[in-house]
Structures are given as C-alpha cells and as structure tokens.
Structure 1
Amino acid sequence: MKTGVKCADLTIAYKSIYQDVLQAVDYVHGKDGPLKQETLKKVATYVVKDERLPILLDRMRFHGTKVFLATNSDYNYTNNVMSYLLNDAEEGRNWTTYFDYIVVDAKKPLFFTEGTILRQVDLKTGALKIGTHTGPMQSGHVYSGGSCNVFTDLIGAMHRDVLYVGDHIFGDILKSKKTSGWKTFLIVPEITQELKVWTNKRSLFDKLDEYDAKIAEEYKYLDSSSHVCPDITAYQSKIKSVTHEMDMEYGVLGSLFRSGSRQTFFGAQVMRYADLYAASILNLLYYPFSYVFRAPPMLMAHESTVSHEKQVVGSDLMASRSRSFSENLSGISTDAAIPKRKTLQRADSLVPHLYADTPKEITQILEFDEEEEKSRDIKEEDEENYADQ
C-alpha cells in the first residue's frame, strides 16, 4: 500500500503511525513524562558533566559577552540538572551566577513567534509569581515564558548581536534564524562519528572519485555527432557497491549528513540555517572571542568542475556581459558567420549615458566589516554632538 501498512485484516495508515509516534514522544518528554523523572533520579548516569563548561561561561562573561539560558524545561528540572553541571561546592557558587539572564518554560519554537506571558519564578518555591513581568530582566533571577521580541527588547540586544546555541534543527536553529535573525550555532554530537568515518575511510571516498574520473574519461572525446554509447554499467555497479560500504560505516541508519553522494535533508538544513555547527559548544574554548568564522566558498557545478588553468573556447558572442566585450568585437571576423544587418536608426552612440559608470570602489560591505562601520558611525555622531554643544 502507498498510504499505509496492511497485515491480514488490519490496516494502519502512515499518517496514523506518525501521529502515534508524535504523541508518544511528546508524552515521554513532557513535564510529567517518565524521561525527566528518570533523568533526575540518575543525573550522573544520563547527564555528561564536563569541567570545562564553567570555564567557558566565565571566559565569555569576562570578555563582555552577555550569556543567557533559554530552555523549554520547567524550573525544577532545570535547577537540578544545572546544579549538577555547574554548582561549585568548594566555592559555594550557584549555577545561576554563570548566566546574565535565565528563561525556563520558553516553549520553543513558540518563543520565537507570539510567545507566552513573561513571569518571574520564585526561587524558594519554584512557583510562578503573579502577574506579567514588565520591568528590566535582572541577573540572578529566573523567568518563565516570554517571547523573543520581548526578551531582546528587555536586554537591549539587536537581532544580529545574538549567537543562539541549540541542538534542535527546527525548534532552535531554523525558527530563530527565520523569525528573529539571530546568529545560530547548532550542536550535533554525531559529528564526532561522521569525522571518524571521513578520516579513517578516506580510501572509499578516493575510490568514488576514481570511478567518476573513469566514467568521464569514457566520454572525453565524444560529442553530439558520435554514435558510440560507452558501456559504463561496470563502473556504476562499483560506485553503488562502494557507496553502500561507505554508508554502512556510519551505522545501520547511515550518515546523518550524507546519503551516497548527496546531502540528506537534515544536512541541507544545517548548511542553510546554521551559521556554525559543531559536536559541542566547548569547541569555542579553542578560539579567541574576536575570531571571525568564515566558511569556505560554496562552488557551483560549473566552478567545481572547471579549473582556473583551463581556457574556455568556443563561447557564444552573446555569452559575455563584460564592459570590455564590445571593444574586442573589432578583432572578430563575422563575414560568413553572421549576416550584416541594417544599421539601427537610434545607434548606441546617439544615446547619452547608455551604460552606468563602472564602480571605482567596493560597493558591498561584508559581515565582518559591519562592526567597524558601526563604530565609525558612532564616532562621527559623537563628534557632531560635541560640535553642537
């Protein structure tokens, strides 16, 4: 069946299976579900503690970065898990001191759209205080609910000033990027295994490149006049075999990012919506906070398959839009190839300023130049205000 599964007299639609699984997952992850209850009973078993985490949070705040926590979990669960991760018994330091702002029950992805009422949490009882919180958000306090717009307004942060770290591609990364314009950092623990296969099984990737090159060689000297059809079935079979072997190295479910030679849907979403992604936020420990992360150029097919050393020949006369192209036409013989046409009454030479002037300087400001541009604007504004006084 195309719409479901049938066994004897029993029929189950795929949509029904999806709804059942969704309800089961929501129940397990819910406030009263067994997942969080079991986790709190054995926190040390299910939660990985790393002594580098408090070091990273302290360094971020030391360099002037405002650090906030926004979680869908309730205060009781958050308090227990974060106490295990960050509380320092020797110094008597509470986990809340590592953050400037703390929001629980955020209800993401609803948090990034209309949101909910922002209320303050009573740290002694864990209950929510009466009324909507409208004043400034204070360090050391815990808040519940709210929305992205209210949150950024209260802390005075612009959209591009926020780097949001999350582990859910839809609820954290996609929604925060599309609705709020935040910079995004996706945590994907599976990257560790992906990189292990990428490095240890490099020979498999080399085989795929080799077979692709041999197929290209079969067609190298053929064009539209050729009647020969090369037999590449042997190479296609080898490619299929190597691809299967490579997929099995990632486990029964295959790679999270790649399906054969193509990206998975998840991988495509990571490339589109995540500004950064890594196996752990602790990777930031090994970069200065002034570091500029720049992605390698994304080559299109016509760029990745043609090297810079190659000279493209046989181009159509209409293929170039270069300003210097018209100047080079005098060196091209068109006696037989192109019939002469009647001269237009309104020639290009009669139209003043037919083409816009070619830019003489850079007209695009890159992302890493924006901070310099902002500081320059602020400095100029201060000088004008000083002159007015």
Structure 2
Amino acid sequence: MLNSRSHCYRLASEAFSPPRRSITQSRQLEDLKQLYEVLKHESQSSTYPYSEKINPNGIFANNELDLQKIKVYGFDFDYTLARYKPTLHSLIYDNAKTFLVKNLRYPDALMNFSYRPGMGARGLHLDIKRGWLMKVDSYHNIQLGTVYHGMRAVSDEEVLAAHHGTKLTIDVVGYLGRTSNMFQFVDIFSIPEITLLRDVTQYFIDNSIPFATEYVHYDVQEAVSAFHKSGAMHRIVGNNVETYFEENARLKTFLQRLRDANKQIFIITNSAYWYVNHGMSYLLGENWQDFFDIIICQARKPSFFAEQKRPFREIDVHKNSKSWARVQKLEHGKVYVEVCWKIAFQWNLPCRFCSKGNLTNLISMTNWQGNDVLYIGDHIYGDLADLFLKYGWRTGAILEEVEDEINIMNSDAFQKTIRWLTVLQWLTNKLQVIPGPEADLVMKNWLAEQDAERAKSRDLLNPYFGSIFRTHTVPTYFHRRLARFADVYTSNVCNFLSYPLDYIFFPRRLALPHENVLPTPDLNLLLMKSISLCVYVCAGRFNDDITRALLPDASEDKRREIDERKDLLFHQLVKENLQPTKGLPRIIAYIQENRSKFKLGLATNAIPSVTEFGLTFIKIDMKTFLDAIIIAKELGIKMYLKLTRRLNVEKNTRIVFEDSASGVRAAVVAEIKRIGVLTSAEKETLEEYGTWRTVKNFEGMNWDEIFTALTLC
C-alpha cells in the first residue's frame, strides 16, 4: 500500500517556493501565455478578497510606540482636536478668489468659479517656473501621468524633456518641501489653494492671456495667506462654529480617559485663544480648559520649536489684560502666549518683534523627557519634524485622507483591480527571461495592460493624482516624510479610544527587496491566506472543507467551481516540477511482472483529484494496477482496517510503506508491518513509532527479500 502524503507535501513546497516554481524554471512562452489566461480568469472571477480589509479607523505604526511609557499627551488644535466640514474649503477658495479680483486686479470672470472637491491633494509639488503640479515619489522621481498645468495633463514627453528624465535632484525638490524651484503643498488647508491655482492658470490659457506662472503662484499664495493672517477666516469660522466645525462626541470621552489615567495634557496651537475658545466650547463645553494642564496659543510653529528663547506671557482671558509678572512655572487652567498679546488676541496676527521659539522654556519648566511625550498634529513639518529630530518626542500625525483611501481600497472594485495588477506584474517579471520577437510582442502587450490597470487603481482614489501615500510601486515623497517624522498616524485623534493605554503599536515587518515575502499572487488566487494553508490543502484535506471555511456564504455549485479551478491551476504550476521517488519505476515494473503473487492497495488522505493526478503522473492505471483504493479525510487506523478488509488478506501478510509518524502509528494499531520511507520525517521519529525497516527511498530495495519475509511471518 502506497501513501501519497509525502508527495503532496513536496508538491506544495516546490510549487510555491519562489526559487523552485515550475513557471520560473520553464522558459516556454506558450506555457506562460496559458498561465496568463488561467490566472486572469481566476483573478477576475474570484469573489474572495485579495487581502484582508483594513480598519479605516485604525492607527498605523511607522515606528514602535509603547503607550504605557507615555506620560504626557500634547495636541495641535486645527485638524487635530478640531475637525472641519468641507464648507471650510469653499470658504477659503471664495475669499482668496475675491482677494485676487478686488485687490490684485485679476479678471472679474474668476468670480464665477467655485470650489470642487478632488482637484487637489495634500503632498503635491509645484514646479514654480513651469506652473506644473505633480506627484513626486520617495526617490524624487516624478510620477508620470500626474503632472498638470491648470487642467491640462502634461504629456510624458514634455515632462521628460523639461527635466531630462523623471529624477529630481535634492537641490530641486528640497528636504522639507520648499526651494526656489519647487513648492510642496503639505497641509489640508492647501487643497483649496491648489484648486484656485489650477482654475486661474486654466483661465489664462483658455483666454490667451500672457502670464508668468511664478506670479500666479505667488499671487494665489498671497490671497490665501491674507485670508488667514488678516484674521478674517477665524472671525467667520469662530462666529459660525456649527457651520464649519464637525461635531465630535468622542473627543470628550478621549480626553477624560487620559485625565482619569493621570496623564498630563497640553495644547500648542498657532491659533488665537479666542478662536480656540469658541471651537473648544462647541466641542467640549464651556469648561473645556479643565481637560488641559497647559494651553499655549499663538505659538508660531515651527519657529516655536527653535532653540532661541522668549519668555511666556500669561493672559487673563476674562479681563482682556496681560500679566507683567515673569512666568516662573506653567499652571493648570491658565493660558500663555508667545507674541505681542493684544494684536494676537484680537486679530490672530503674529508679532514681528518676537524672537524665535521657546520650547526650551516649556521643557525646563515641566521637566518633560522626550520619550515621555507624545505630540499629535496634522502638519508633518510644522508640528512634528523638529520635535522628532531635535527633542526626541514621540509623534503622531492626523491625516483625514487615511480613512477615505482605506474605504476605497476595501471596495470590491479596487480589490479586483489590484489582484490582477499584482499577478500581471508577477507574470511580466517571469516573461523577461524568455528571448525572441514573439516574447517581445507579448511583453509589449502586457506592459500596456499593466499601465491600464495602474491608471484604473489610481483613478479610483483620485482621477488626477491617485493616492497621497504611494505612487504605483513605491511611497510618495509625502509618505516618506510622514514615515520619517511620525511614529504613528491615523485619521482621527479619537481613534486612540479603540486601544488600551498600555497598547504597543508595532510597525509591520516589510520585506526588503532581497527578502522573501508571502503570500505571493498565485497563493492568493488559490484562495489561500498563507503557505501553511496551501500545504494543509495539498496534504490531504478535501477541497470542499477548505472552500466551505473560506467562503461560507457561497453556494455548493460555486464552491465546486472554485475547487475545479484551483485544481487546474495547481496542476498547471507543478506538472513540470514533479519527480517520482527514486526507485519507484523499478518497483512498479517488478509488481507488474509478479502481479499474481500479492494484492495491492492504496490508502491516502489526499483529495481525489490530487490522487488521480499523482497516479497518472507515475503512469499507473488505478483500475488494473490496484485491487483497492481507500480515500479518507483523515489518515488513521480506520482507513487501514477498511483497506485490509477490502483486500481480504491475513494480518501477518500485510505491509505498508509510510512516510509519516501518524501513519506508522495507525499501521501499528492495525497490525500491519511498516516500512518507513524517509521523505518527510526523520529516521529516529519513524523508528520510535514502530517501523520494521526504514529506507531513504525505493532505490536499491530487494522486493524478493521483502516478499519472502512476508510469507515467512
């Protein structure tokens, strides 16, 4: 009796270990084209998701962060503790547009324009000289297909000619997103600015108005900045909090949780106190100050974080006055500023006479140590960079786009696109080693299809610029800076409520280019989550057991269809990589010559299709070569007892070839003589469970000796 368990284990490991896949060994173009058809059908018809769905409200780690070690929590205000409705973007756009027309004499026709979501994205770069908006990756390469001049897509040829390729030098792109050549739009307030810049540029182009792109950029920048610095935006928003602020019922619960755990809490914001007071009163109630140990307004970040010192000034928010006494310590419930207070308090203006920064004073008064503090903000440069690099504080970034993008990535349309794109890239990589004009033509077609699938995935996120976090294959410049300056990031500060205060955020282990990574595309197409599941299936479990577990809601007909497709794909992948156990052909020939001397049976827990495939491979006709076949879901004594009854032979004339410890143990109980085949287990293990003999393989075995031993038992 022969057991195919060892063959199945070997099939799985050889078929799905990248260095030994049959498809990588085969240089036959026709085989690869056939595999393309099989995989394409599988990826486009499969109802199983390409990957586990991501929690859009999760917190994601760039660096390990242990919350148990955090004693102090600090926050920015805008787009961190306070979230704004989309109406704010329309407000900024409309007022900046009005400034251009009324103050800078831009054409009156611009007043007919309105803000449209999706025209801009955080993290974009502007080629100031040419007026081109573009997405740049983490290696300073321009992502072709994301370059726009106004509303016109700049052709790849124009981009390559202008920049002599796609690579930008550090002098051009800068380190913190700003040089004389390039400007990076980093915060979410910049999205209406990008939209207005595109609209004005396109209007000038459409109406043949001569213009210098630098001037348009600087004018739009001035218009948006004036709306901020004049205090107009804060007056409108602060006096209409219901219109512009999002309600956040979880915020009070989150802050109270920190206070109950004896954590210290502070705010450092560039906004004026009166504005923060209006917003916080709306979000937390009139006694919102009770949640915070220290409140610092009008901080002028990032200058606040510089090394020079300027004393804090305490303000009395009730008497509209400032204290003349030197601040010796920062006290709970009091408000401090770092600018000429009267102007700042009333109009949200910075003081031109202030020296740069006083974080040094803050640290000296509080004795906060770097690793004890977690500061959370939305601006990776203005809020996080200096704290992370110079002071060793732990940092968290709040990016609303995370939730939006994850919801799209979880959609069926995106999952199906990425599934096929990943497999197509894998196939294209295998095709590269096949020479010849026909292979070159196939490569050209596959690369074109790959570009189309990339564009499809990009358009699902944003039809102009795609994801703010990645280009096709690598992170964006924005994400590289995010990963550098933020230990963790999430879409909403209240997402921390989902994690205990002793939670450790671990970054995902990412495979380096020279490291192996699982699962691979073909495993996903087999509807398996890992190599262990693949081995589990191939080691004798039945298809319907696996598909029922993975697809509990699928009909029986659907599961049967998936089973058949999986078997087809499995056989296609392994057929050229199989080798019979050494010596097996000679043993088969001996049996055929002496067929009348004994009965032969097969007991296996391999699925029927795999059993049939294996027997066909070694050229055995089940009907004429075997007297009985027992296929069971589990290898055990019942299977062997059933086979011996079917063969109707005495127990002292029975022998089994086994490669597994469990099979040997079952044969012992069934009183069958055991020969252990060392293809999947150690010799000592099989002997411990009770083998009569052990052999490395069938080569060199003396079947006459074995037959004689049986007849003498």
Q: Does 1:3 align with 2:196?
A: no
The correspondence for 1:230, drawn from 416, 440, 452, is 440
Counterpart position of 2:302: 109
CA contact (8 A) 1:148 1:180 kept: no
* Counterpart-to-counterpart distance in 2, 1:163 and 1:293: 13
Counterpart position of 1:120: 314
The correspondence for 2:254, drawn from 56, 66, 77, is 56
Q: Does 1:140 align with 2:333?
A: yes
Counterpart position of 2:431: 218
- State the Cα distance separating 1:282 from its structure 2 match: 0.6
The correspondence for 2:218, drawn from 11, 15, 19, is 19
Structure 1 gap ranges (5+): 89-93, 310-389
* Counterpart-to-counterpart distance in 1, 2:495 and 2:305: 26
* Counterpart-to-counterpart distance in 2, 1:78 and 1:300: 45
Q: Using CA pairs below 8 Å that are at least 6 residues apart, which structure has the higher relative contact order? A: 2
Counterpart position of 1:273: 485
* Counterpart-to-counterpart distance in 2, 1:126 and 1:265: 45
Cα 1:242–1:115 change in 2 (3 A) is farther
- State the Cα distance separating 1:130 from its structure 2 match: 3.0
Counterpart position of 2:510: 298
Partner amino acid for 1:130?
W
* Counterpart-to-counterpart distance in 2, 1:294 and 1:122: 44
Counterpart position of 1:261: 473
Partner amino acid for 1:99?
F
- State the Cα distance separating 1:99 from its structure 2 match: 0.5
- State the Cα distance separating 1:261 from its structure 2 match: 2.4
* Counterpart-to-counterpart distance in 1, 2:233 and 2:399: 21
Counterpart position of 2:234: 36
Cα 1:118–1:246 change in 2 (3 A) is same
Partner amino acid for 2:273?
Y
* Counterpart-to-counterpart distance in 2, 1:247 and 1:221: 30
Partner amino acid for 1:120?
E
* Counterpart-to-counterpart distance in 1, 2:494 and 2:279: 18
Cα 1:305–1:84 change in 2 (3 A) is closer
* Counterpart-to-counterpart distance in 1, 2:393 and 2:498: 23
- State the Cα distance separating 1:286 from its structure 2 match: 1.0
* Counterpart-to-counterpart distance in 2, 1:167 and 1:306: 34
What's the TM-score once normalised by structure 2's chain length?
0.39
Cα 1:199–1:2 change in 2 (3 A) is closer
- State the Cα distance separating 1:22 from its structure 2 match: 2.8
What's the TM-score once normalised by structure 1's chain length?
0.70
Q: Aligned Cα RMSD in Å?
A: 2.6
The correspondence for 1:250, drawn from 436, 440, 461, is 461
CA contact (8 A) 2:311 2:361 kept: no
SS at the partner of 2:396?
strand
- Cα deviations across residues 17-70 of structure 1 (Å, max 9, x unaligned)? 33323322322222x332111102210111112121111111112112100011
* Counterpart-to-counterpart distance in 2, 1:131 and 1:10: 58
Cα 1:228–1:244 change in 2 (3 A) is closer
SS at the partner of 2:382?
helix
- State the Cα distance separating 1:117 from its structure 2 match: 3.6
* Counterpart-to-counterpart distance in 1, 2:467 and 2:367: 41
Counterpart position of 1:373: none
Partner amino acid for 1:80?
H
CA contact (8 A) 2:265 2:293 kept: yes
- State the Cα distance separating 1:259 from its structure 2 match: 2.3
CA contact (8 A) 2:266 2:293 kept: yes
Identity %, equivalent residues: 26
The correspondence for 1:168, drawn from 367, 379, 384, is 379
SS at the partner of 1:301?
coil
* Counterpart-to-counterpart distance in 2, 1:266 and 1:2: 18
Counterpart position of 2:390: 179
Q: Does 1:75 align with 2:75?
A: no
SS at the partner of 2:253?
helix
Cα 1:304–1:197 change in 2 (3 A) is farther
Cα 1:116–1:204 change in 2 (3 A) is farther
* Counterpart-to-counterpart distance in 2, 1:19 and 1:254: 26
* Counterpart-to-counterpart distance in 2, 1:196 and 1:214: 28
- Could you tell which deviates more after superposition, 52-61 or 1-10? 1-10
SS at the partner of 2:502?
coil
- Cα deviations across residues 185-221 of structure 1 (Å, max 9, x unaligned)? 0000111111011111111111111111111221356
- Cα deviations across residues 152-211 of structure 1 (Å, max 9, x unaligned)? 221110112110000112101223212222111000011111101111111111111111
Counterpart position of 2:417: 204
CA contact (8 A) 2:431 2:439 kept: no
Equivalenced residues, count: 298
Cα 1:34–1:254 change in 2 (3 A) is farther
CA contact (8 A) 1:4 1:11 kept: no
- Could you tell which deviates more after superposition, 108-117 or 263-272? 108-117
* Counterpart-to-counterpart distance in 2, 1:302 and 1:81: 51
CA contact (8 A) 1:128 1:144 kept: no
* Counterpart-to-counterpart distance in 2, 1:121 and 1:2: 42
Counterpart position of 2:366: 155
Q: Does 1:285 align with 2:497?
A: yes
CA contact (8 A) 1:188 1:277 kept: yes
Describe how 1:307-318 pairs up with structure 2 within 5 A.
none
* Counterpart-to-counterpart distance in 2, 1:192 and 1:85: 21
* Counterpart-to-counterpart distance in 2, 1:164 and 1:55: 19
SS at the partner of 2:211?
strand
The correspondence for 1:239, drawn from 427, 436, 450, is 450
- Cα deviations across residues 202-242 of structure 1 (Å, max 9, x unaligned)? 111111111111112213567xxx99963411111111111
SS at the partner of 1:165?
strand
- Could you tell which deviates more after superposition, 65-74 or 245-254? 245-254
Counterpart position of 1:338: none
SS at the partner of 1:11?
coil
- Could you tell which deviates more after superposition, 262-271 or 115-124? 115-124
Counterpart position of 2:353: none
Partner amino acid for 2:211?
T
Partner amino acid for 2:405?
E
Cα 1:239–1:125 change in 2 (3 A) is farther
Q: Does 1:195 align with 2:393?
A: no
Report the structure number with the largest CA radius of gyration: 2
* Counterpart-to-counterpart distance in 2, 1:287 and 1:269: 25
